Every structure is written in C-alpha cells, then in structure tokens.
Structure 1
Amino acid sequence: MKTRIKQLYIFVTALSVAILTACSGGGGLAGIGGSGFISSGTVTGFGSVFINGVEYETVSSTFDVDDVEGTQDDLRIGMVVQVQGSINSDGVTGTATHIQYADDLQGPVSNIITSADFKTLTVLGKTVIVSATGSAFEGLNFSYDSVAQNNVIEVSGFYDELGHLQASYVELKSVTFDSSNVFEVKGVISNLSGTTFEVQGITVDASSASITDLSNGLQNDLLVEVKGFYNSGTFTINATEVEAEDNELSEDGNKVEIEGFITRYVSNGDFDVNGYAVNANNAILTPVTLELKVGVKVEAEGVISNGVLNANEVEARGGNAEVSGIVQSANLDNNTFTVELHSSLSPVTVQLSTSTLMEDEVGDDDQLSLLELRDEGGFVSVRGFEGDTSASTINATRVKRESEVKDVELQGIVTAQETDVSITVLGVVFPVSAVSTSYEDQNEITVDTHAEFEAITGINSTVVSIVDKIEGDGNATGIADEVEIED
C-alpha cells in the first residue's frame, strides 16, 4: 500500500497564510481572537461528537452546516469542522455551544488519474486527491471505487503546498454535471481587480454577486465562500453570492486544539500548523518517536498566548502502519480488537483511542463502534502507528469497516527476513514464495528475487507493505503475493 500520498500532505496554501496573518477587521478574517473556536479538526465519531480526541456534549449546541442552520444529524465522519465551547479538565470531554461546517469545494469531476491507493481528480480546475483509506465517502452507492467523470462532489479536507485539496470527506451531490448546478469554493481572495478575483487559483467574476455579508466589501486576504455557476470554457465561477467565513481561534479557552500539517519548521519551539504558530518545547509527543518537521500531520493542543499555541501535547495523525483483515475479537475493557490476516498467522491487535476515526461502510449509518465490531465483526482497514512490534499492535488513527472482503494487507517496519521463507512485520511472520511472491522497490520497480529485495531493505528501519490477494473463493492464502518498499 503506497504511502506516497503522505508526501503531498503539506498544507501551505493561502488559506493557511491568511489564518496566520489576519487581523480583526474586514468582516470574517480568520486568526486569533477572544471568543473564537476552541477546536478545528475532523469529525471522528458520534454519540455526542468526537473531534480531535474530545467527546463534545451537544444537547444544547447550535449547528451551522454550509451556512444553513442544522443539527448533529447533518454532520458526517471526515468533515472538517470548528467548535465553540469548552473542554473539561480531563482533556477528553467537553461541551460544544456551536459547531460549524463548510465544504472546501463543490463541483464536477474530470481528469481522473488512478494510482495504487489514491485518485487524482480535477474539480473546478482544482486538483483533488481522494484516498481509499484516508477519505470518507457519502452518497447512494458512492465509494472510492465508483468516483466517475462528471460526478458532482462536495469535498472537505486540507490543501497541500501545490494547492491540491487532500480530501477527508467526499459527498456525491449529483451523478452528472448540469450547467445549472450551483458550485462552491472556500478560500482567501487574491489578485482582486474590481469585482474579479481568485480563490484557490480559481477565477471568480462577482460583478452580479450579492456581497452583503462582507461588511467592508471585497478585499484581498479575506476568507470567503463563493457560490455560483461554473463556466468550464473560461474556468471562471460567475458568482451569485460571496460570504465571509470565520475560522478564528479563541485566546480565552483553557484549551485549544488544532489538526493539520506542519507547514513551517524552525525548531520544536517555533513551527506552524495550518498557519498557526506553535511552541511545543514543553509538549508531550505521541508517539514518543514522533519527529516534528514540515509535512507531518499532527494534532496540537494547548493554550494560546500572544498569538502562539503553547502546546502541552502534540500527537501524530495518519501513520505508516496498516492492516486489513477480518475482525477476530474485541475487548471493550481495553478498547482493543484483533484482526486476523489468515488462520495460519498471528493476529494484529488494534488499540483505539478517543482520537481514532471510526468509519462504517456497512449499511446506511457511517458510525462505527467497538461494540459493533465485537458483535458483528467484518472486514476492516486500519491505519496508525506501531506499538509494541513483538505484540503485533497498531495504535489506530483510523478504522474503516469495509462493505466487502478485500485483499489482506499488512504494512510496517520490517524486523526480520528469511530468504524465500518469510518477512516479519508487526510481529507477524508472513510467509513468502520463491515462485509466486513479487517484489518492488520504493519506485515501484520490480525486484527479481527475495535476496535482492533483502539487500535494499534495512532491518528495523524500512517500511514494507505485504499484500495477500483474495482468491476465487474470497479467501486469502496466507502467503504474500506482493511485497514492496514504502516511501
């Protein structure tokens, strides 16, 4: 399973810059303020609402979903939202007074390019990257595999340094493109000339748009949402409405949390996450092996002072350990479950936390609980960080129960190899075949033999992916079909 997509996860767009540099004027400029949001991140679960590892009580909450008053039922796993309210002293519960969601982009799909684990799409002239394991999908019979030309989709996620939108949530709005559809894009105004400007590199003609929500009119560096009709010939949105957006974080809260990618790094005491300045000199890093640097996705929590988030904890998101297989058992007391790769192989233990994103592709409800895994089982895809490799453990950041059985996969640091016999990853001694197992290096170039593959891998340092393909009867064989080095 290729991890090359993680290299693209560097969120340094104009939106980040605006969040960092914005001031209080101008109607909706984002930044740091007295009564702003205490949390900005991805929805990972329900019951109440889980965001950045905190379970928010929502009995008295108000909801703003795409500029319309809504309810908790309008939220979905994978949506990037902002929360107003408070976080309790235990750090894992809180009360939300208000939650807002606004998609980043909505428009027709074109130019689909498929690689091993992600697809590159063009939407309104922008590049959108969707992942089989990193994006949540919403819509009737809509999934990673079914994304098609001319689908109209809504996307929420993060932009990378190339201006590509890395999707955490993708919703099918319409099966086919219709020129009468209203499309949307969110971002910062740039290159303003009269009533023409750019948002996320998309040209916007606002000559006929309502801008009554902008107290000081159109301005460069203003964070807005644009709605209108898309002219594919001129790559221009003819706007009907331009509204101010507010992503301001609070200086008043006893705790503030942000999720995103490190976009600037000088030292652990001086770096940016999604454009916000962070000082993590006194922070606990999770896992302990976490190395802070540009391109790493993290969740940072702490208190804001003088415009800087003084973090007491920084936790990695994503991870290079992965497993896909059948749920074998679950332990509600320990918040764990085990995944069986094959009856002949040792299982992998998955450790959950309040930050783990739990997604269900089975049935109509996208929520997934450990209780459901215990009672119903199913085929799951898990991503996270390696725990104790001798105990075959993954500390999960994301769990998805698939709607069907897929190929068995295992990814992690290789800890042992025996030529033409086995490769050990996450404590699992996975058999290989001198006849049928194929090998590839990090550039997807074929390596002819296991011995040659061993020569280019380092024990306790190289991350490898092992795939055991399902056969005609829907079962894996317990012998690796493909082994490849991950970037």
Structure 2
Amino acid sequence: MTTSGTITGSGSIFVNGQRFAIDDAAITVNGEPANEAALALGMVVTVAGSIGDDDGDGTARTVKAFTALRGIAADLKRDDDGNSLQLRLLGTDVIVEREGTVFAGTDFDSLAPGSRLAIDGFTGVDGRLRATRIMAAAGVAAALLAGTISALNGTTFLLDEQPVDAAGAVLEGLPADLKDGLRVQVRGNLEGEVLRAVRVSGGTGPTEALDDGDALRLEGRVARLDVDTFLLGGIRILAAGAERMPADLDLAEGLVVEATGHWNGEALVADTLTNRRGTLRLAATLSAIDNEAGTLALQLPTDSIALATDRRTLVEDARDGLPFPSIEDLRTGDYVKVEALRDGDRLLVTRIDRGADTPARVLQAPVEDFTAPATITLLGLSVAVDEARFQNAVDTDIDRGAFFDSLSRGALVRTVDEDGDGRAEVVEFEFPRALDGELAFRDEISVPLVGDKALPANILTDLTSRFAAQDIAGAWLDEDEYEVALADGTRLFYTADGALLDSSGPSAEAGHVTSDGGSIPPGQGGDIPGSPGDNPGSGGDIPGSPGDDPGSSGDAPGSSGDNPGSS
C-alpha cells in the first residue's frame, strides 16, 4: 500500500485514516534523513508499507515528505470575512484558511508580506496551492519549490510560474535528464525573479515506484473534472463505479477528496472516494465527550448538537499548542471550532480546532426551515435573526427583505451569535460547494449590469425569467464565458451568446433549460463550477447593489460609461 496525504495524528502516524507504525521506517524530509520528531500535523507525506487483511494498522517501510514551498511571502490579501487569505510565494498563489490550515511558529493573523514560511498543501487546476500546514521558517535561507517542469530550454525551465535556472545544480533521484512533465523539488536561492537551483530532486511523486496492481490511496484537490475522471496532484483518477462516502458526495473542482484503489500503470482506478473536508461549521463549547465511541456534543444557546469523529478527523490545538492533539485531550467546557459534513444520519467531524474561550457561537449549514423575518432553522436549531445584519454570498450587505426573498430551504447559511444570547448578529449566504478562500480572490474582469461592457442583455433577460426573486450578487468575464453569482450562492455560467452552460447552488437544484430548449442538470455540462479563475467574492466592485433587480442601475458600480470593475 502506498498512501499520500496529510498527517492527521500521531501514535505512529495517521495518514488518510490509516495508522502506520514507523519505528523501522526510513524517514526523509526534503530528501534528507530524518526521524519521527520531524513529522508534524498537517504535513503532506507519502507512506509506502503494508497493512493487515482487515485494513487495520499498517507498518511503514518509507515515509517521504517534500515541502511544497519555502521562501518569503509577498502580495498578501485577506477576504472580507477574515476567514481566508491568499499570498504569493515563488510564483505560486497560496490559499490559507484561518480554521483549515495548521500553523506552527506563526498564526493566521501574523502572516504578512516578508514572512519567511515553509508550506505544505494541495494544488488545483488553477495552479493555486491550498495550504494544509504553514510553519515559520525564519533563519532558513534556502528556498524550496516543488512542481512540474514546463518550458524546458537547456537548463532553464518553469515550475508553475517560477523561472528556474538549474545550471550547475546537483541532479538526484531523476530517471534521466530534466524533461517537461517531470515532477521535482528545487532547492536554491532567489536572485531577482529567477530561482538559482543548487539541487533538483526527483522521486517526489507517490506513483514513481509503483507496479501495476499496487494498492494506492491519494488525498488532494479535484482538478480537471470530467464526469468520473479527474486529477489529484497531477495523477489521473478513474472513478466510474467507485463507492462515494458520504453517498451523496458531489464532485466539484477544488474539492478535497481521498481516492482509494489500485494503480494500473497510468492512473489510479478508484474503488472508493471519500470527502475529506466539510462545509458545515460550528463554534461553541463542548458539553459531552465519549472517547471510546468517538463522539462529542457542542452546546449552543438553545440546545446541543451531537457529532461523530473517525480516524481521519484532524484535531488542532491553537489554545495550548499541543503538537499532536486528539479528542482524548479535549475536555468539556473547551471552546472549539468544528468543520463537519453530513454522513447519513450523523454529523461527521473533519476538523476540530480548540481555541481561547469566547462567547461567540457559529452555525453554518443548509437551511431546514425559516419564518421571515424572525428565525432560521439550521441543524434542527432555531436561530433568531430579527436583529441581524445580512450579507449575500459575496459578502455584500443586503437588507432583511432581500435576504428572505432570496432564501430557500437547502441554501447554505452562516449565522454568527457574537455574545451567545441566541440571537444572531450576522447572517450570510455561503457558496455551497466551496471551502474558505476558494471563491474569494479573482483576477477576472468584473462585469457591470448596465453601461459600457455590461452583462449582455440576453443573459439578463434569462436571469430575470428564471430567478425573478433573486438579486445578482456579481458577474465576471473569463475570456469568452460569463459567470453570474446570485445572492444565495447559486452560480451560473453562460456563453457570450447567452446559452446557459452550467449551474450549481440552491436555485439551480431543480435543473434548468438551456437556450436551445435542452435540459441541463445542475453541476453538469459545459465548464465545471470552480474552474480556473471562477472565484467570485473579491476583485473590483460588485455589480448590482443589494436589492436591485437585474439590469437596474441603483447604486451598482458600472453605471453608464464605467469600465468593468470600476467604482
């Protein structure tokens, strides 16, 4: 068995839910011999070893860790919610989550341009890295960058967008000379815009030593999704017929999943696909813990919520700084932030972060019921919202009436009760298929609803006919394709001629009819939501002010004569 993913626990190590004894394993970090103490929570590692017939505990032969990035951060920007940021390091954009990234020697709020950092994570089709771990690397001068060689010309090439000059570098672990498509890690020094390589190392991929039929388990971000075929970390996954866990797992670009199956020489043929990150969010104090059963309960103002954990649940300790915490280290009364997903009739925790006590209580979940304008029901709990501030899915303030006009059962909504009195101060729509930061930073052109270079009239007409009750939260142009985000987090993709290519989100659940009369199920056909650059939520001004009908001017940016994205 070869498995590649994040370390989620110790006591030996847990990777992709599998416990491996590493007493006799050969451990290397960035190609250098290391010991168990060098392995840390959130690191991405590849483990080769054996497991029992019952898929029980395993024994590792080798454990290899390769840092994705190490260097000085630049161009850092934060989202409006304060839950994610994006920084640039060695030509790579990195998504960092307040609650989804493990920190060592630094924290989310301390990150700034000029910070010297070592970063582990998963890349997507857009080239961005979603950080699983960030460690302060002050005093470490050498830069590290892992990626795939392209544009090779003699000894110069690109790793993602970073120019590299490998003249005079030591080449190790490579099957032959440098070539395009080869995955390597480069160690060197940044001179101006060029990374001068001292060493170029191969052997960084999990499939390089596999034979046909070998068992393989991979964790990563879904990229280049085409029905049941996609990439994880550049490795092709064939998932037709694979069991999905949970059963309603809906694949999307950028989703973090685990694929288990066998290697056929060219791809991983998956038997199972497991969702590794949830979009449910809770923050409250622990009211009950059952270590033997692996269950927890969180106390919210009106009732408690029962949660389940498994061997994949990652526990982080921002309060006491324990290096490898587990649920056995948690105590009733601890304040925790929880990420979870629905798995049948249980709420399965994917991450727990113990932090400093605060009265704030957070619930983020699909809406089960609501009574306008007073209450919303999430996870069986009624939340009073009559005095709240409301926001649409791109974090623009809207009034209460516009919020409830856009609200439907199943919409993903986040409520924040800042003082724990049972009444939410903030209520906002969220994009239902996106982790924090996935849709918060974009470079595409923001398109106004009226005026110069506005959203085409045929698209506005289609939106008005399909979604009369919904306001447009934002619109963007990526080459020859338009993306429109509605207030409730529904995303729609159109051709320049006004043909609907794809849709996802609460208002798209029933499916829609394309401009030629054909039926298109939500989440299928055309481009996939979350494809490169489809990142509503920031960049320029948001077209369509709160409450404006599509095509009205209101206070929307992009009034007559404005360029797209101007104010």
Alignment partner, residue 422 of structure 2 = 478
Distance 1:86 1:305 in 2: 19
1:466 maps to 2:466: no
Letter in 2 for 1:82: T
2:351 aligned residue (379, 398, 407) = 398
- Structure 1 residues 403-431: Cα deviation after superposition (integer angstroms, max 9, x where no partner): 45373211110001122432111111112
Q: Which residue of 1 aligns with 2:9?
A: 45
Structure 2 residue 232 is the aligned partner of structure 1 residue 273: yes
Q: Give me the whole-angstrom Cα distance separating, in 2, the residues matched to 1:222 and 1:254.
A: 21
Task: Please tell me whether residue 447 in structure 1 is matched to residue 411 in structure 2.
Answer: no
The CA RMSD measured in Å over matched residues stands at 2.2
Letter of the structure 1 residue corresponding to residue 272 of structure 2: E
Q: Determine whether 1:125 maps to 2:78.
A: no
Instruction: Check 1:213–1:406 CA distance in 2 against 1; reply closer, same or farther (3 A cut).
Output: farther
Taking a change above 3 Å as real, the CA distance of residues 148 and 92 of structure 1, as seen in their structure-2 partners, is farther
1:382 corresponds to 2:338: yes
Q: Secondary structure at the match of 1:211?
A: strand
> Hey, what's the Cα distance between the residues in 1 that align with 2:259 and 2:251?
11
Q: What is the one-letter code of the residue matched to 2:45? A: V
1:19-38 map, 5 Å:
38=2
1:90-147 deviation digits (Å, cap 9, x = unpaired): 32421111111010110111222111211111212321111111110011xx111111
Task: Give the structure 1 partner of residue 119 of structure 2.
Answer: 155
SS of aligned partner of 2:109? helix
Counting aligned pairs with the same residue, the percent is 27
Whether the 8 Å contact between 2:212 and 2:264 is mirrored in structure 1 is no
User: Partners in 2 of 1:409 and 1:208 — Cα distance?
Assistant: 55
Is the partner of 2:316 in helix, strand or coil?
Answer: strand
Which residue identity does 2:363 align to in structure 1?
A: L
Q: Tell me the CA shift for residue 281 of structure 1.
A: 3.4
- The one-character-per-residue Cα deviations of 1:150-204 (angstroms, maximum 9, x if unpaired) are 1100011012223222111100011xxx8x9211111122212222211121111
Which residue number in structure 1 is paired with residue 382 of structure 2?
429
TM-superposed deviation, 1:371: 1.6
Partner of 1:221: 181
- TM-score by structure 2 length? 0.71
Secondary structure at 1:453 match in 2: helix
**Whole-angstrom CA distance in 2 between matches of 1:123 and 1:347:** 42
Select the residue among 263, 286, 303 that pairs with 1:304.
Answer: 263
Q: Is the 8 A contact 1:87 1:255 kept in 2?
A: no
The answer on 1:137 being equivalent to 2:103 is yes
1:304 to partner: Cα distance:
2.5
Does the CA contact (< 8 Å) of 1:431 and 1:478 recur in 2? yes
Give the secondary-structure state (helix, strand or coil) at the position aligned to 2:330. helix
Larger Rg: 2
Alignment map for 1:89-104 (pairs within 5 Å):
89-104=53-68
Distance in 2, Cα, partners of 1:272 & 1:230: 30
- Taking a change above 3 Å as real, the CA distance of residues 125 and 303 of structure 1, as seen in their structure-2 partners, is closer
Q: In structure 2, give the amino acid aligned to 1:297.
A: V
**Can you give the 5+ residue segments of structure 1 that lack an aligned partner in the other structure?**
1-36, 471-475
Unaligned 5+ segments in structure 2 are 432-567
Give 1:320 shift: 1.3
Of 75-84 and 193-202, more deviation after overlay is shown by: 193-202
What's the TM-score, normalizing by structure 1? 0.82
Higher relative contact order (CA 8 A, sep 6+): 1
Letter in 2 for 1:305: N
Note closer, same or farther for the CA distance 1:278–1:163 as it changes in structure 2 (3 Å cut): closer
Q: Do the aligned partners of residues 138 and 200 (structure 1) sit closer, same or farther apart at CA in structure 2, a change above 3 Å counting?
A: same
CA distance in 1, matches of 2:222, 2:175: 32
- Give, in whole Å, the separation in 1 of the partners of 2:353 and 2:153: 46
1:240 Cα offset (Å): 1.8
